[in-house]
Amino acid sequence: MNLLYRNSLTAYGTAALELETDLNGNPRDLSGVDQIVTHMREMAANGPGGVPAAGESGVYDIIAKLEANPLQIIAALVPEAQLLATGQSYQAETMEIGQASATSRDEDYGGVSVPVTSTWTLESTDATARTATLSLSEEADAAAFSQSQQPAIANLISGFAERAKNLTADQLASVKRASKSRSVKLVVSLNDGSTLEASEIVTVASGGTTLRTYTHIQREDMPASLQLPTVLTAKDLQTPDLHIEPLPSSKVGPGILDELSIPPAPRKASQTVAPDNDGPKAIAPVSLEVKSAKVVSAPTSFGSELDIMLTPESAAKFQDFTQAAVGEITQVLINDKVVIEPRILTPITGGHLVISEPDSKLLQDMAEQLTLPEAKILVRLRP
């Protein structure tokens, strides 16, 4: 595996992964998951200096996500696998050179459904080499993606509260904007549909910072044919002289930072928090009605996902519950069976739930159960 991930390899306690894929190369099953999770728990229990990681540590969030969807281990350690599978197809397809084909899907970012538009184009073919060059351009909806990043941006700005006070309204608005795009080029064999070479640039702008991730994969027995950015070809990479410029001295009126934190909404009559004289607040379980449930391919990890939309009334109840349960580990039950145990990091708005599971048949069974009349989901704190 890529040695650039040596820290992750140490944390996961493995230097090799054995996995099964579907006919297009998308990973579907992974061996050794129990050993990896056990190793990560041991590392959390024996932190730096022998001090165990705190219960609210992000390490335990990662472990919980891996237990819910073990295929995320592949996404963390071998992200190249998904890139290779992106352009592969075991079935014959017909495309016209230069003609773009657009599709759309929704991706979940912290409970926010973000529409993503994908545009495929057949750039060229090589009859002698029996290859085709494809391009893929993806763009996340700017407004929805910005909304999904607001909690993280607010935390970032709160860490520089004094400097943030000097931002003008326009500067603050710029910092709070976020965007994500992806550009991919693939050279695919016309003999067997496999990917021979791939390049990818993922650009994420958030909190006034732009991060670009560059990836290039090619077969060792074949020369590279894709034009690559300088950052991947330069022998000596030139790095800028990084320094921090002082913020402008212009002052802004009071209230410009009020938008960074949304005060809790007034409690409704159906409030889920009840006082407990013997301890902290008890958060009552909520029963949620389902508007739709369907199995889709996971856009940001491997495997499949169950995409659930709640009714408007249940969406409001779920938002109230998650607002009260921030920081708590919860359970989601379908037909009295616990299917996931997520920790609530931020209030979830929009009534959108996503359940990840490598077994697509199990997800399909859940979807069928939720489409029955009177189908409901129970959400509660983990006992």
Whether 201 contacts 213, CB under 8 Å: yes
Among 219, 252, 285, give the residue marking a domain's end. Answer: 219
Is residue 348 included in any domain, yes or no? yes
Compute the CA torsion angle 276, 281, 282, 288 (nearest 10 deg).
140
57 and 102 assigned to the same domain: no
Looking at per-residue confidence, does 139 or 229 come out higher?
Answer: 139
Is residue 285 included in any domain, yes or no? yes
Tokens of 23: 């006919």
Is residue 356 included in any domain, yes or no? yes
Q: What phi and psi, each to the nearest 5 degrees, are found at residue 316?
A: -65, -40
Is residue 71 included in any domain, yes or no? yes
Q: What CATH number does residue 300 fall under? A: 3.30.1360.200
Predicted TM-score (pTM) of the model is: 0.56
282 and 343 assigned to the same domain: yes
51 and 171 assigned to the same domain: no
101 and 65 assigned to the same domain: no
CA distance 139 to 180: 6
pLDDT tens figures, 72-111: 888 888 888 888 888 888 788 888 999 898 989 898 887 8
Is residue 253 included in any domain, yes or no? no
CA distance 15 to 30: 14
pLDDT tens figures, 231-267: 777 666 554 444 434 433 334 333 333 333 334 444 4
Looking at per-residue confidence, does 58 or 136 come out higher?
Answer: 136
10 and 62 assigned to the same domain: yes
286 and 355 assigned to the same domain: yes
The residues pairing with 198 across neighbouring beta strands, listed in sequence order, are 186, 217
Per cent of the chain over pLDDT 90 is: 21
Is residue 130 included in any domain, yes or no? yes
Q: 280 falls in which pLDDT band (50, 70, 90)?
A: very low
- In the numeric block, the tokens 């791939």 are attached to 198
Per-residue confidence (pLDDT) for residue 5, from 0 to 100: 56
For the purposes of burial, counting CB atoms within 10 Å of the CB of 146, is it exposed (0-12), middle (13-18) or buried (19 or more)? buried
CA distance 338 to 360: 17
- Number of domains, the chain: 3
48 and 106 assigned to the same domain: no
Range in 39-48, 55-64, 239-248, 281-290 the model is least confident about: 239-248
Q: 148 falls in which pLDDT band (50, 70, 90)?
A: very high
Is residue 303 included in any domain, yes or no? yes
Domain extent for 345: 273-381
Q: Which amino acid is at 113?
A: S
302 and 338 assigned to the same domain: yes
66 and 94 assigned to the same domain: no
Among 78, 104, 122, give the residue marking a domain's end. Answer: 78
103 and 181 assigned to the same domain: yes
Is residue 27 included in any domain, yes or no? yes
Name the DSSP class of 293: E
